[in-house]
Structures are given as structure tokens and as C-alpha cells.
Amino acid sequence: MSQNKAAAPEKRVEKLQIMVADSELSMIDDWRFENRAASRSAAIRSLIYLGLELTKTDPEQAGKLLEQLDRA
């Protein structure tokens, strides 16, 4: 997540709780270790950021991925 180096990181003030399937948790943990994320929370924040950016840059691909998720 690129931020302006002069700006201080945004303070995290909201806590989210989500339920995930065992297979989803496994995929998150695999992504975390492959990408050397500092924690599971950091990995999830990165994945959320990537998903949000994909919806901006390639909405068609994002839509296809969401359809796959809906079928799972």
C-alpha cells in the first residue's frame, strides 16, 4: 500500500470481525507467508486493498472473480 512518505500512516480506529471458511483462512495464510505479510491482519488489509484497486482498474475481471466467489 503506497502512501506519501511525508504523511503519517492513517490511524486504525475500527475493528471488523468476519467469519471465513477453513479453506478461505488457509488461502489467506498461504498468501500471507508467500508475500511476507507481518500478520494475518496485515495480509487481510493488503488483500482488501488489492481487491478495491482491482475493481477500479479492471472492473470486468473483478466481476468475474466475484461471480466465482458467489458460486463457491
Task: Note the pLDDT tens digit of each residue in 4-60.
Answer: 567 888 898 999 999 999 999 999 999 999 999 999 999 999 999 999 999 999 999
DSSP of 9-30, one letter per residue? PPPP---------HHHHHHHHH
State pTM to two decimals.
0.79
DSSP H helix total and E strand total for the chain = 3, 0
CA angle (64, 67, 72) in 5-degree steps: 130
What is the H or E stretch that residue 47 is in? Answer: helix 40-57
What's the half-sphere exposure (Cβ side, CA atoms, 13 Å) at 1? 14
Question: pLDDT value at position 2?
Answer: 54
Q: 68 near 51, Cβ under 8 Å?
A: no
